[in-house]
Amino acid sequence: MRIKLKLTAVIFLSLIYTALYAQSGLNDKNPTNSQSNSLKQFDLNMNTSKMDLQNFDILKQIEPTASTNTIFNDQLMEGAIDANKYIVGPNDIFSLGIWGIVNTPLPVSVSPEGSLIIPSVGEISVAGLTLNEAKSKVIAEVKKRFISAEITLTLISPRRFLVTVTGVGQGTYPTSAIMRASSLIAFIFSDSVSLMKSGTNPGERNSFSFRNIKLKRKNGEIQRIDLYKYFATQDEKYNPFLREGDVLTLQKYDWEGRFIGVQGAVQYPGTFEYIEGDDLETAIQLSRGVTSVAKMDSVMISTMNSSGTKMENKIVSYEENKKLKLEANDRIYVYPYADPRRDFRVLVLGEVIRPGNYPITLNNSKLSDLIRDAGGLQPNAYLPNSEVYRKLDTFFIQTKNRDTLENVYTRRLNDIVSNKEEKESFDLDLLYKIGRVNVDFEKLSEGDMSQDVTLKNGDIIYIADNSKEIYVYGQVNRPGFVPYKEGADADYYIDAAGGYGERADKDEVRVIKFKTREWIEKDDAKIQSSDFVYVPRVIKRDFAYDIDLISKVAGVIVSVITLTLLVIQSQK
């Protein structure tokens, strides 16, 4: 008896391999040339095209598209297949184990008619069954032939098949039984060739619908694919696995026509596609949920009348009204908790004991308070050059054209900038605007509390150090730093820098103040530590310049003399 069973198993194994080889040969020869070419082209696209999904926030979450090189073990999966949900179909490949008699798993494939053909057992119909149902049915049938053996049936390679797409990106595309609709949608929306099949310009990608994609099954069942809802809820009904005979309809969407606006304390504020039946919970899901400061008992729903002339606002509790149906073009605002205790701070730098960021109150903290909090001044602190800097409110537009826009805006109602020279002067002055707070630290240290300014959020306090040097440059023989000497004038520092150069303009020497960058004539300047001494060069004019100047002056003189003679002559 045992010999007979082993002989039967050997014959059984030979027949299975023969059948699989024949089926494989048929599968390779049967497809038409056009179908074969289209599949090869799609394989090439899937493997080489770069998916540009920058404009598709929702598509960034879609799982990678499966490879199409071969049907064996190369498809990316979300995880283990759910045997109660996977539907068996033609070309699924299984491993049949008859343990104890044939201790080698045998590959078997579902035929185009939806059956597993097992020699010595017969034909077993499995198409349309769940994986668990197919396993139970096949194991029971094989068990009738091999009573004493342990029987197993394992899916080793999910099938591939064609799915039809209509609307945007129309055509047929190879997919697999472990591919969700979102994978195919991601490929079509990112592939220019697929879009142009339906006359869609790749630049129109932002106008596609992601919430109202129609999936029609072979049995006539129709499902709505909603990618936003799927990634918010992970509910598979909004993004199902594909099957044979599926028809996927992709369409454009008019974002101005029907939308939901969600703003406030949510993760991703924005405007979203409206679907009939959307409720408050859906609106919050579309924006990926609320932030940690959301006030869930204060959600405002704004509904406009049909003519767009009136707005009705109502504030509701989210938990009590999450199933409240919304109308097209409703706007949702999730209020954040309002707390005046914000992170107000200033930065203290330079010659203080403890530099760093320090908290302040709203419009109530004084400069002296912060210097005290920072531990007071270092011995090397130099108050004449110390500063308080403040952020400028520059038209609140942060763009590369901000300065130009502000110039135009600031000149709007002027009554003095009326000619080209005045405009150029104003533009130059505006360009040099700096956020300096006028503070005299020396007077403040002497007790003048009028200098104890109120600090604002983001202010920077800089306590300068006493460098005890003056920088001399321009037409001197040895430009550079010169040690500071109390009470010394500009000539002293010029001599210390090697004296005047050959082309120095001694009448135009200026002292430039370190703090204000003000230019002062050398005889009027009181030089302090860190100031600059600048010696300009004598500008030599060529002969043509002198002749031109003389001719212009002579012309003016002749005109004056002529006018004078005419006046005298007229009075005679």
pLDDT by residue (tens digit) across 216-270? Answer: 999 999 999 999 999 888 899 999 999 999 999 988 887 677 899 999 999 999 9
Residue 392 confidence class, pLDDT cut points 50, 70, 90: confident
The H or E element spanning position 174 is strand 171-176
pLDDT exceeds 70 at position 499: yes
List 152's β-bridge partners, or say none.
97
Q: Cα(316)–Cα(314) distance, rounded to whole angstroms?
A: 6
At the second CATH level, the architecture of 469-535 is Roll (3.10)
Backbone angles phi, psi at 158, to 5 degrees: -65, 150
Pair 167, 190: CB distance under 8 Å: no
Distance, first Cα to last Cα, the chain: 159
Q: Which two tokens stand for residue 124?
A: 């077993």
- At CB < 8 A and 24+ separation, what contacts does 44-48 make? 45/187, 45/191, 45/193, 45/194, 46/187
Instruction: Decide if pLDDT at 348 tops 80.
Output: yes
Count of beta carbons in the 10 Å neighbourhood of residue 245: 14
Q: What percent of the chain has pLDDT over 90?
A: 55
Which helix (H) or strand (E) covers residue 172, if one does? strand 171-176
For the cut 50, the answer to whether the pLDDT of residue 53 exceeds it is no
pLDDT digit string (tens) for 421-450?
888 888 777 777 778 899 999 999 999 999
* Tens of pLDDT, residues 327-346: 999 999 999 988 888 889 99
Same fold for the domain at 259-336 and the one at 469-535?
yes
Element (H, E) at 224: strand 222-225
Q: For residue 299, how many other CB atoms are within 10 A of its CB?
A: 26
Q: Class assignment of domain 2-159? A: alpha beta
Helix (H, G, I), strand (E, B) or coil at 492: helix
At 56, is the secondary structure helix, strand, or coil?
coil
pLDDT exceeds 60 at position 550: yes
Q: Which CATH superfamily is domain 259-336 in?
A: Outer membrane lipoprotein wza domain like (3.10.560.10)
CA distances from 527 to 114, 288, 385, 518, 532 (A): 99, 63, 12, 12, 8
How many residues can be counted in the chain? Answer: 572
Whether 466 has a pLDDT exceeding 80, the answer reads yes
Asked whether residue 552 carries a pLDDT value surpassing 70, the answer given is yes
Query: How does residue 394 score in pLDDT terms, banded at 50, 70 and 90?
Result: low
- Report how far residue 45's alpha carbon sits from residue 56's, in angstroms, rounded to the nearest whole number: 20
Q: What is the Cα–Cα distance from 385 to 338, expressed in whole angstroms? A: 40
Going by DSSP bridges, is the β-strand pair 247-250/213-216 parallel, antiparallel, or unpaired?
antiparallel
> Residue 191: which pLDDT band, with cuts at 50, 70 and 90?
confident
- Amino acid letter at 385? N
Give residue-wise pLDDT tens across range 127-153: 999 999 999 999 999 999 888 889 999
pLDDT higher than threshold 70 for residue 47 = no
Query: What band does 171 get if pLDDT is binned at 50, 70 and 90?
Result: confident
Best CA proximity match to 273, nearest among 228, 238, 338: 228
pLDDT at 554: 79
Q: Is the pLDDT of residue 45 over 80?
A: no
495: left (phi over 0), alpha (psi -120 to 50) or beta: alpha
Question: Cα separation of 15 and 118, whole Å?
Answer: 9
pLDDT at 324 over 60: yes
Longest distance between any two alpha carbons in the chain, whole Å:
159
The per-residue pLDDT of the chain, averaged, comes to 82
Q: Is the pLDDT of residue 402 over 80?
A: no
Q: Is 135 exposed, middle or buried (0-12, 13-18, 19+ CB in 10 A)?
A: buried
In this structure, what is the dihedral angle of CA atoms 374, 378, 382, 387, given to the nearest 10 degrees? -10
The number of C-alpha atoms within 13 Å of 531 and in the hemisphere containing its C-beta is 25
Q: Quickly list H helices, 234-373.
A: 280-286, 318-321, 367-373
Give domain limits for the chain. Answer: 2-159, 259-336, 469-535, 541-572
Model pTM? Answer: 0.61
303-312, 339-348, 466-475, 562-571: which is most confident: 466-475
Which residues, in sequence order, are CB contacts of 10 under 8 Å at separation 6+?
A: none
The 3-state DSSP composition of the chain as helix, strand, coil percent (nearest 5) reads 35, 25, 40
The pLDDT of residue 69: 39
Do strands 213-216 and 122-125 pair parallel, antiparallel, or not at all (unpaired)? Answer: unpaired
Give residue 411's pLDDT.
72
What residues form DSSP beta bridges with 528?
Answer: none
Q: Is the pLDDT of residue 68 over 50?
A: no
The per-residue pLDDT for 403 is 60
Mean pLDDT value of segment 347-363? 95
